[in-house]
């Protein structure tokens, strides 16, 4: 709905016969809403049990219960999360806020559709591409360093709040990264702009690790933009963004010998997962 999803980097699994199977470890969210009078609201566990019983035999891999959702597992490595919401019926046109049925925190105000509207009200096609670049970068860092980078939600908020428009994607991306760095150096905080508004989202992530990765990406961007050869410059981005950032069709010639290109190669936009 936001056009910011990217393909995941695959995992590989070898069976007892030595056959290698490719697994795609992405997850999709599909919210399940119960709309009723507040007095009819059930316990969080009741709703979770209803959903679990409905989907547990849907695949050969089954399903598992989590605090915020029921997760349906698929043989190719992906899963579909079913977060469960209760929404009080609206009366006299007065809007009600959906509540996430959280098994340990009870009912928590949460409205994913509100975030979608917030982002789409601010975004243009370039910003959506920048978010995909950031998500691909996050994916590559997590795979390469076996660590946990901030979520796609956090990166989307940071990119939106610090978007630095430019006719060239590479300069726009580099400048947006620098704006993000400037903000986080002052205070390592990213607040949710919608329900729960003001919620701090970076608390569980390592400031040292994220800022180190961000600094290296910015340095690569500076070097790429300054490079006289577009293809060699593209490779500097590719080192941090991964092979999905394609450089094969970028001109391999000095800028002094040909016209400079207007934008770097774009990550595959035919994406299937976050």
Of 36, 81, 170, 212, which one is the catalytic site residue?
81
Q: Active site includes 27?
A: yes
State how far the Cα of 243 lies from the Cα of 249, in Å rounded to an integer.
Answer: 13
Q: Which residues contact 210 (CB under 8 A, 6 or more apart)?
A: 149, 150, 184, 202
Q: Does 57 qualify as catalytic in the annotation?
A: no
The residue annotated as part of the active site, out of 15, 16, 29, 175, is 29
Q: Has 252 been annotated as catalytic?
A: no
- Rounded CA-CA distance 22/12 in Å is 5
* Residue of 17, 27, 139, 187 with catalytic role: 27
**Which residues are tagged catalytic?**
27, 29, 81
């Amino acid at each position: 709905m936001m056009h910011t999803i990217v393909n995941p980097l695959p995992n590989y699994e070898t069976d007892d016969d030595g056959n290698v199977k490719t697994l795609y470890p992405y997850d999709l969210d599909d919210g399940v809403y119960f709309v009723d009078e507040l007095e009819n609201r059930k316990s969080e566990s009741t709703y979770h049990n209803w959903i679990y019983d409905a989907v547990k035999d849907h695949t050969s891999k089954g399903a598992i219960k989590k605090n915020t959702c029921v997760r349906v597992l698929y043989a190719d490595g992906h899963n579909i999360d079913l977060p469960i919401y209760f929404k009080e019926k609206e009366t006299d046109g007065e809007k009600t806020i959906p509540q996430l049925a959280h098994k340990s925190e009870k009912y928590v105000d949460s409205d994913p559709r509100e975030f979608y509207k917030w982002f789409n009200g601010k975004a243009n096609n370039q910003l959506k591409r920048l978010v995909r670049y950031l998500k691909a970068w996050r994916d590559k860092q997590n795979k390469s360093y076996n660590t946990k980078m901030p979520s796609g939600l956090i990166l989307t908020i940071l990119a939106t709040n610090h978007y630095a428009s430019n006719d060239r994607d590479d300069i726009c991306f580099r400048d947006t990264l620098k704006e993000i760095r400037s903000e986080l150096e002052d205070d390592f905080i990213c607040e949710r702009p919608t329900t729960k508004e003001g919620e701090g989202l970076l608390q569980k992530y390592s400031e040292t690790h994220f800022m180190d990765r961000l600094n290296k990406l910015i340095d690569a961007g500076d070097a790429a933009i300054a490079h006289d050869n577009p293809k060699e410059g593209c490779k500097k981005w590719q080192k941090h963004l991964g092979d999905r950032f394609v450089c094969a069709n970028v001109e391999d010639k000095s800028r002094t010998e040909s016209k400079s290109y207007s934008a770097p190669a774009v990550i595959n936009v035919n994406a299937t997962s976050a």
